[in-house]
Structure 1
Amino acid sequence: MLKRIFAAMVVMVSLLFSSFSQASAAWDSYKARFLMPDGRIVDTGNKSISHTEGQGYAMLLAVANNDRTAFDSMWNWTNNTLKNKDNGLYYWRYNPVEADPIPDKNDATDGDVLIAWALLKAGQRWNIPAYLAASDAITQAVLKHTVISFAGYRVMLPGANGFNRNTYVNLNPSYFIFPAWQDFANRSHLVAWRELIKDAQTLLGKMAWGKAQLPTDWVALSADGKLSPAKEWPPRMSYDAIRIPLYVSWQDAQSPLLTPWRNWWQGFSRNQTPAWVNVTTNDTAPYNMNDGLLAVRDLTLGATPAEPQITAQDDYYSASLKMLVWLAQQK
């Protein structure tokens, strides 16, 4: 009996180390492709700009791969280059070829949240109080400048400026990073984070349009509580909204909020799944999901997870989705 138990433990440990060795190989590929020597992550699918989303994703991956050297380089570049000292948030976009690399002085709250979450995890993993303090400062700034009560809900605006239109607010549901919010709630014990989670889940359950019955990338919440696809963007479930089931699954793989995604994707064979759907016309993309999008599909449908492999065909976003799906599976 003891021999069988010992053998089972050996198998479990070997599988664990195999998973991390594979992930480490993918992380090395990711760094080689997208991490600059100064700590900047380059979005190869978007004219090689950088943004807080990419910095946050890569910082999370560095923690998961126990790579403090890479983490420090990314955090130092982000904090020194993108921090808005007036409000404690981070300028969302950096373009090195422009005379002013940061022409838009707004933030993107998903980037702020991801950076704060990575700092929280780094502080916990490596026992660095300064990281924890930096995370706390960012989350406090996020709550102060981007979280409001509107139409009876606690919501996080996509940025500090430009999204509250008085009679309605524009929301990006792919910014509802539930596992991060949960970790912030556990650390701070602030009611605001728990209300954000509860209200965002309620709102997501009502974002169901067209044949697909899915949310769009951008959603308008009116003062009377009605939801509709935001008029300023195409009414598509597309490259933003694909992250909704990723974050929902990351927090709770059994969430009923995943049901419409499963229903939609199960209507297509894996390799013939369209990259987006227009919920107004029900038209679908004339091209299919790339490997990064398919990784989220696989996660949502409960498919056997594959180890991440970063290929030459993967741009920054596709590679990031692959790595994030792997990370979600390690929880």
Structure 2
Amino acid sequence: MHPYDPYRRSVLFALTGLIAGSAAAQGARPAPQRGDWETWKAAFLAPEGRVIDDGQEAISHSEGQAYGLLLAQAFGDREAFERIEGWTQRRLATRQDALMAWKWQAGAVGDWRNATDGDLLRGWALLRAGRDSGWTGHADKVGPIARAIAEICLAPDPRAPKEPLLKPSDQSLATAETVLVNPSYYVPRAMIELGEATGVTALVRAAAHGETLLRDPRALRDWVSVTREGPRPPEGLADRFGWDALRIPLYLAWSGRWRHPAMNVAARRFSAAPAPGHVATVTGPDAHPLVQSNAPGFLAVAALAARRAPPASAGGTAQGYYPATLALLAQVARAEGGDAEGPH
């Protein structure tokens, strides 16, 4: 098998049930707490269905809308799901393709470029709504989203041109020599399930190749340029493992990839915090801690990286939108991500 061609392994991984459906994967693990979801809604979900990021001047963005959809589906809240999707459809899903504009601010779209993780997660949430919850009315959107991601948000890896890399946006840098990648945009489970449900096998292949990319410690940054010589820090962007990259272990855990090497790398990064009860949320290229936090959401993701259960409580909304959202996502990821001690 070519080192950049783990496609067959990924398909086998999906088909043999290591990535199970939402309901089947719950098992005996603690279920996410509905009270935490209600608290999150009261703080960050506007009546019209707009998810508010209080850490970025109260903007809304495609990623936040997708997180809201995933959480509403996971917590069985169809009313909130419909509100979030309705606002998203009216305000962000207004491009000429099936993808979303990235940012809504001050009553208008502030950036028409897409953010591929938001589109991927929205497509996955819409798929889960019909497949796992039996909520009708959205199935016709799933295929166009999957096809648009495959058509305009994948680019050949300069090292192995038959292997697709996930671009962070349809307009991001991608040449025969270098492709800009945000490693935290890879959600293997979402990519595999979307690809198999819609017949867009390029997403399944991209998921497998993404898992291979994440095995290279040089790729574990917020942003990375993948070149013919391998991953390297991108020009003009900070060389760090920080606010973006810290989601890598969350998505690997949700995908059942508990023993992927990136989990151990992330766990070591988090544990570099000097203060007791804190995790390092930003570390430099030498793994030196630059920022630390004791916000429950960041602690929850660090727990997943160490293959431990996140706290039973999400920790409230005083920590702010981003860590509060991560705390809830970590609960769902642990409930659905299979056995953390299993042979994954």
Q: Pick the TM interval, shorter chain.
A: 0.7 to 0.9
* TM-score normalized by the length of structure 1: 0.85
Contact 2:196 2:204 in 1 (8 A): no
Inter-CA distance 264–134: structure 2 relative to 1 (3 Å threshold): same
- Of residues 22, 30, 46, the one that matches 1:36 is 46
Q: Which stretch shifts more, 126-135 or 67-76?
A: 126-135
- Percent identity over the alignment? 27
Quick one: which amino acid aligns to residue 115 of structure 2? A
Inter-CA distance 84–205: structure 2 relative to 1 (3 Å threshold): same
Contact 1:30 1:310 in 2 (8 A): no
Quick one: which amino acid aligns to residue 327 of structure 1? V
Q: C-alpha separation between the residues in 2 aligned to 1:235 and 1:18?
A: 37
Q: C-alpha separation between the residues in 1 aligned to 2:237 and 2:321?
A: 23
User: Aligned with 2:265: secondary structure?
Assistant: helix
Contact 1:91 1:102 in 2 (8 A): yes
CA distances 1:182-226 after superposition (whole Å, capped 9, x unpaired): 211331344312211121111111233xxxxx711000012x242
Match of 2:126 in 1: 119
Shift of 1:118: 0.6
Q: C-alpha separation between the residues in 2 aligned to 1:75 and 1:286?
A: 34
CA distances 1:58-113 after superposition (whole Å, capped 9, x unpaired): 1111011111110000001001111134122100111026xxx2232100000001
Match of 1:321 in 2: 326
Quick one: which amino acid aligns to residue 49 of structure 2? G
Correspondences of 1:257-272 after superposition (within 5 Å): 257-266=262-271, 271-272=277-278
Match of 1:285 in 2: 290
- Of residues 117, 132, 137, the one that matches 2:139 is 132
Q: Per chain length, whose mean CA-contact separation is higher, i.e. which structure has more relative contact order (CA < 8 Å, sep 6+)?
A: 2
User: Aligned with 1:236: secondary structure?
Assistant: coil
Match of 2:282 in 1: 276
Inter-CA distance 18–87: structure 2 relative to 1 (3 Å threshold): closer
Quick one: which amino acid aligns to residue 86 of structure 2? N
User: Aligned with 1:63: secondary structure?
Assistant: helix
Correspondences of 1:96-111 after superposition (within 5 Å): 96=106, 101-111=108-118
Shift of 1:135: 1.4
C-alpha RMSD of the superposition:
2.3
Q: C-alpha separation between the residues in 1 aligned to 2:258 and 2:317?
A: 30
Contact 2:117 2:185 in 1 (8 A): yes
Quick one: which amino acid aligns to residue 284 of structure 1? P
Q: Which stretch shifts more, 242-251 or 306-315?
A: 306-315
Q: Does 1:215 align with 2:220?
A: yes
Quick one: which amino acid aligns to residue 309 of structure 1? A
Q: C-alpha separation between the residues in 2 aligned to 1:272 and 1:261?
A: 14
Q: C-alpha separation between the residues in 2 aligned to 1:267 and 1:238?
A: 13
Q: Does 1:171 align with 2:176?
A: no
Shift of 1:18: 11
Quick one: which amino acid aligns to residue 326 of structure 2? L
Q: Does 1:145 align with 2:152?
A: yes
Shift of 1:311: 1.9
Q: Does 1:243 align with 2:253?
A: no
- Of residues 285, 293, 303, the one that matches 1:298 is 303
Inter-CA distance 291–186: structure 2 relative to 1 (3 Å threshold): same
Correspondences of 1:51-90 after superposition (within 5 Å): 51-90=61-100
Q: C-alpha separation between the residues in 2 aligned to 1:96 and 1:60?
A: 25
Quick one: which amino acid aligns to residue 155 of structure 2? I
Shift of 1:16: 8.6
User: Aligned with 1:102: secondary structure?
Assistant: strand
Shift of 1:286: 4.6
Quick one: which amino acid aligns to residue 94 of structure 1? W
Q: C-alpha separation between the residues in 2 aligned to 1:260 and 1:286?
A: 17
Contact 2:99 2:119 in 1 (8 A): yes
Q: Does 1:27 align with 2:37?
A: yes
Which blocks of at least 5 consecutive residues in structure 2 are unaligned? 1-25, 337-344
User: Aligned with 1:325: secondary structure?
Assistant: helix
User: Aligned with 2:225: secondary structure?
Assistant: strand
Contact 1:34 1:42 in 2 (8 A): yes
Inter-CA distance 272–125: structure 2 relative to 1 (3 Å threshold): closer
Q: C-alpha separation between the residues in 1 aligned to 2:229 and 2:130?
A: 39
Q: C-alpha separation between the residues in 2 aligned to 1:156 and 1:305?
A: 29
CA distances 1:15-39 after superposition (whole Å, capped 9, x unpaired): 999954x611001000000000100
Q: Which stretch shifts more, 300-309 or 75-84?
A: 300-309
Contact 1:275 1:290 in 2 (8 A): no
Quick one: which amino acid aligns to residue 277 of structure 1? T
Q: C-alpha separation between the residues in 1 aligned to 2:304 and 2:29?
A: 20
